[in-house]
Amino acid sequence: MTIASLIPNELKDLLREIEGLGFSLCLVGGTPRDYFLNKTLSHDLDFEIRNLEASVLRSFLKNKKINYTELPYQITRVDFHGFDLEFSTPRIERQIAGNKTHHHFEAELSPTLSYQEAFKRRDFTLNAIGVELDMKNNSEVVVDPYGGIKDLKDRVLREISDDFFLDSVRFLRLIRFSIKYDLKISDSITTRLNEFDLSELSKHHFIEEMMKSKVPGLFINKFNQMVADLKLSIPTEFKIWNGLKFTGDNKTKDDLLVSSFLQKEESAKLVSAFFLMPEKRAKDLKSFYDSFMMVKAATKEELTTLAKQSINELTDPGLLKELKNLEEKKEWQKYFTGPLLVSWSDWDSINVDSLELESIPVKMRSYLRFHKALQKSFKA
């Protein structure tokens, strides 16, 4: 099996046309890595294109009426039959003195760079494997100037150059790859982790790498542990995670919000703000939780007494208000599964007609459905 054999025909035809313009195509990054790990083809395909300028490719795509997006560093992105294609010109990245951000370099693009020169800018050796395609002859050549295939077999993360430690996002990628692929961190990285400067770490990149890890809870745990062990300085906004512990089941932002709330109620607002959630999100969670706990604490005697009362006689909805709130905010239901004497299944099938509503006070009408559920459940 080869990578080329996994490429569908319609994409092969496009690549042959691009190759026919005079371009040399080399798959790079995650696609070769994942292929050598598990023999699968990603739907995100990154190509380095050599011999010609990127403008030639864009003119071709325009003539073919294929939509594309121009990204920084002359990268061209194409959505083609379910594949996200990126075509980039090989480049060298030169460090900008004093710059601690992810874009800490100046790029020097050249379509004639050697693979060793071009791949040097990459982070890990296992991400510096290329597969040079020859679509015309349906063949391919593996390009591995930094021994990435061996490191894949050994399941180890190893840096390509000293530049690895200049980029704070690579600290995050180190965490992500070690967790997602169950890879060891090489001694050459471990002994130099304290060289990372996280003082200008980007929240955007943190969230991006965290979600790509597929296990955000474990990602945060490892980030916290490494920062603490290495005594690294981080921006204030990242300190909200201090003292919080998560599980592998915490896979979404809502999972993390709920887990944070249950550990430290006051942290929910900070976590929702970190993820740029609406302020109402944390408020709704707390509101649901408070109602859930009140319903959970209700006794059979209390519910029976309420069910026996006529809704026309009630001056205060009391527990009915909490039941209504559970229904209105039931998206949080999956996080709270404790036993309730009355719950969603009891009122889901309850119907209320307009004549019934007209017969009770206006302020109690929205609670009629829940009162009828109590009457049905407790045979009042």
How confident is the model over 355-373, as a mean pLDDT?
92
pLDDT at position 338: 85
pLDDT at 93 over 90: no
- 1-154 has which CATH code? 3.30.460.10
Q: pLDDT (tens digit, 9 = 90+) per residue, 240-281? A: 999 999 999 999 999 999 999 999 999 999 999 999 999 999
Higher pLDDT, 38 or 306: 306
H/E/C letters for each residue in the chain?
A: CCHHHHCCHHHHHHHHHHHHCCCEEEEECHHHHHHHHHCCCCCEEEEEEECCCHHHHHHHHHHCCCCCEEEHHHEEEEEECCEEEEEECCEEEEECCCCCCCCCEEEEECCCCCHHHHHCCCCEHHHCCEEEEECCCCEEEEECCCCHHHHHHHCEECECCHHHHHCHHHHHHHHHHHHHCCCEECHHHHCCHHHCCCCCCCHHHHHHHHHHCCCHHHHHHHHHHHHHHHCCCCCHHHHHHCCCCCCCCCCCHHHHHHHHHHHCCCHHHHHHHHCCCCHHHHHHHHHHHHHHHHHHHCCHHHHHHHHHCCCCCCCCCCHHHHHHHHHHCHHHHHHCCCCCCCCHHHHCCCCCCHHHHHCCCHHHHHHHHHHHHHHHHCCC
Higher pLDDT, 137 or 206: 206
Which has the minimum average pLDDT: 87-101, 169-183, 204-218? 87-101
pLDDT at 208 over 80: yes
Higher pLDDT, 99 or 162: 162
pLDDT at 100 over 60: no
pLDDT at 179 over 60: yes
pLDDT at position 107: 80
pLDDT at position 97: 63
How confident is the model over 117-138, as a mean pLDDT?
94
Q: What percent of the chain has pLDDT over 70?
A: 97
Domain ranges of the chain: 1-154, 167-277, 296-377
pLDDT bin (cut points 50, 70, 90) of residue 315 is confident
How confident is the model over 110-139, as a mean pLDDT?
94
pLDDT at 232 over 90: yes
pLDDT bin (cut points 50, 70, 90) of residue 1 is confident
Q: pLDDT (tens digit, 9 = 90+) per residue, 279-304? A: 999 999 999 999 999 999 999 999 99
pTM: 0.87
